[in-house]
Amino acid sequence: MKKTFRFLFSLFLFFASIGFYFTNRLMYMKKKDEMLIRKREEESGRLNPLEFESLPKKEVLISSPFGYNINAIVVEPYDTSQYVIISHGVTESKTNSIKYMNLFLKRGFNAIIYDHRRHGESGGKTTSFGHYEKFDLKAVVDWLRAEKGPEVRIGIHGESMGAATMLLYAGMLEDGADFYIADCPFSDFKEQLAYRLKAEMKIPSLLLIPVADAFLRIRDKYSIHLVSPISVIENIKHPILFIHSSKDDFILPAMTEALYEKKPGPKKLFIAANGVHAQSLNENREDYERVVDEFLTEFYWRKEHSVPTIDKTEG
């Protein structure tokens, strides 16, 4: 009897240690240092500090439904009702969103860049890879609509986790933007975790993911199974431009292709030739901008709105 008890207790401790270890890695994933992000963007030429500081903008704090503030910067160089919201990837911050913001500023949009929960200057204690983040994105969209009125027209651009967050937001029957651009999203978090466990640690996911999921339900009150953009993609009726690099080995391009295939209605797919994960714009700028222009022309610009003159200079 004692041997059985010791065995069961040892088994419990083993699974508990696994559960805590993996949920800690998910909930408290190490973030990039903000100064290093800024230095990287400046040295690459994607962020010009003088140009950014000269833009008409304001910092706002938007209330999350979970009791903390979402830090956002609203950039408004134009007298227009057209806005784009940029949703950054995990471990990054809104500084990483500036390069995408610049792309849309050149096309006559105002913009909002913001920090996800537990990132940058926003509050929040854990990262949930889109589950809680989608409600924060809803808060940003709702804030913009309340500020600018019913005539505001909104696009959302998301990168990596930010793209998955955007799809989860739209797929929960919100569909609150006029268009979406999903750059290198995962289609299903469980599948992504299984792939990364095999690629990085050579560990089979058959046992680990159910254990991690059980502990995640207890510790952070959600399930890995809920973080599945492909399970809600059919709810999104507005146009989506899907982007992925063919050489991305962190989130495989097959995930974006699966999302594209399942999405009903207006859509476009661009598989970039160069760059690894989240590098499609950086390594394919001319093609990236061309595809964005084609997408906007086909699905967004309307007869009552003239197509803006695009400044082709870098910035």
Architecture of domain 31-188+227-299: 3-Layer(aba) Sandwich (3.40)
E strand segments, 136-224: 153-159, 179-183
The C-alpha torsion from 215 through 216 and 220 to 222, rounded to 10°, is: -130
What does the pLDDT profile of the chain (315 residues) look like in tens digits?
A: 666 656 544 555 666 788 888 999 999 999 999 999 999 999 999 999 999 999 999 999 999 999 999 999 999 999 999 999 999 999 999 999 999 999 999 999 999 999 999 999 999 999 999 999 999 999 999 999 999 999 999 999 999 999 999 999 999 988 899 999 999 999 999 999 999 988 887 666 677 899 999 999 999 999 999 999 999 999 999 999 999 999 999 999 999 999 999 999 999 999 999 999 999 999 999 999 999 999 999 999 864 454 455 454 444
Ordered by start, the domain boundaries in the chain are 31-188+227-299
CA–CA distance, 111 with 167 (Å, rounded to integer): 19
CA–CA distance, 94 with 86 (Å, rounded to integer): 8
Task: Give the global pTM.
Answer: 0.93
The C-alpha torsion from 57 through 152 and 294 to 129, rounded to 10°, is: 70
Q: How far is the CA of 222 from the CAs of 27, 66, 116, 209, 216, in angstroms? A: 11, 14, 17, 14, 6
CA–CA distance, 20 with 280 (Å, rounded to integer): 35
Task: For residue 249, give the 3-state DSSP assignment.
Answer: coil
Q: Is the four-CA dihedral 134, 69, 96, 84 of positive or negative sign?
A: positive
